[in-house]
Amino acid sequence: DGGITQSPKYLFRKEGQNVTLSCEQNLNHDAMYWYRQDPGQGLRLIYYSQIVNDFQKGDIAEGYSVSREKKESFPLTVTSAQKNPTAFYLCATRTPEVGSGANVLTFGAGSRLTVL
Amino acid sequence: GQQVMQIPQYQHVQEGEDFTTYCNSSTTLSNIQWYKQRPGGHPVFLIQLVKSGEVKKQKRLTFQFGEAKKNSSLHITATQTTDVGTYFCARLGNDYKLSFGAGTTVTVRA
């Protein structure tokens, strides 16, 4: 969606397994974000990256890891340390800071992870 | 992180009626953004407000930023079934963290 591809769309895993969610963008945006969505709790920020080879923890980073080796890619790994991994995961890019549409997020279609 | 609070959490509206959802912050906001997420979909950007007292309209949707830049509202007139979904406000922090409210989920009775 809007130049952001998240895969897989649905994922089922056994408890204790690490899972990596893919996020690829062709919007040429520097900044990328990962959010987790649970019913009734809105979107909570996991990690974000302002530029290649740099990333910062969000509000709920524990049990997650990321990498940003390429501008186009920002994969999220849900580790076995994450206590409640079942959720809807959304990746987004942020438009540059200049211009009328500055600092706006464009989201991918999301990945729904279910841990059995 | 610094949060924005949205009320109400749920809004059940008769088709054709108006309603308003609110977004409040305890601190001054540099800007406020609004997003809409349809059921089963992903959030989509609607509008961004940056100036004190700013009012912007998109057809039947009116967005307002408070004079003190601590609150914002979204008012929808003549609600239609296409308005169903969850509306989020979000604030951009100095560290480029975008923090979202919990959202207002809107259902429409035909």
In tens, the pLDDT along A80-99 reads: 889 899 999 999 999 987 76
Please check whether residue A45 is in contact with residue B97, taking contact to mean a CB–CB distance below 8 angstroms: yes
Interface-testing mutation among A104, A106, A111, A112, with chain B (most B C-beta atoms within 10 A) = A104
Please name the residue that has the structure tokens 């397994």. Answer: A17
- The alpha carbon of residue B35 is apart from the nearest alpha carbon of chain A, in Å, by 9
Per residue in B65-110, pLDDT (tens digit) is 999 999 999 999 999 999 999 999 999 988 899 999 999 999 999 8
Q: Report the alpha-carbon distance of residue B7 to residue A54 in Å, rounded.
A: 36
Contact B96 A94 (CB under 8 A): yes
How far is it, in rounded angstroms, from Cα A66 to Cα A35? Answer: 12
Please report the pLDDT score of residue A78 as a whole number. 96
- In B44-83, the residues whose Cβ lies within 8 Å of chain A are 44-45, 48
Instruction: State the best of B37, B98, B99, B100 to mutate against chain A, taking most chain A CBs within 10 Å.
Output: B98
Structure tokens at B56: 């912007």
Q: What pLDDT does residue B2 have?
A: 58
Residues of B in contact with A33 (CB under 8 A): 98
Question: Helix (H, G, I), strand (E, B), or coil: what is residue B80?
Answer: coil
Average pLDDT, chain B: 95
Parts of chain A with a pLDDT under 70: 1-2, 99-100
Segment B35-59 mean pLDDT: 96
Asked if the model's pLDDT at residue B1 lies above 70, the reply is no
Percentage of chain B modeled with pLDDT above 70: 98
- Find the angle CA(B22)-CA(B26)-CA(B29) to the nearest 5 degrees: 75
Cβ of B42 within 8 Å of Cβ of A110? The answer is yes
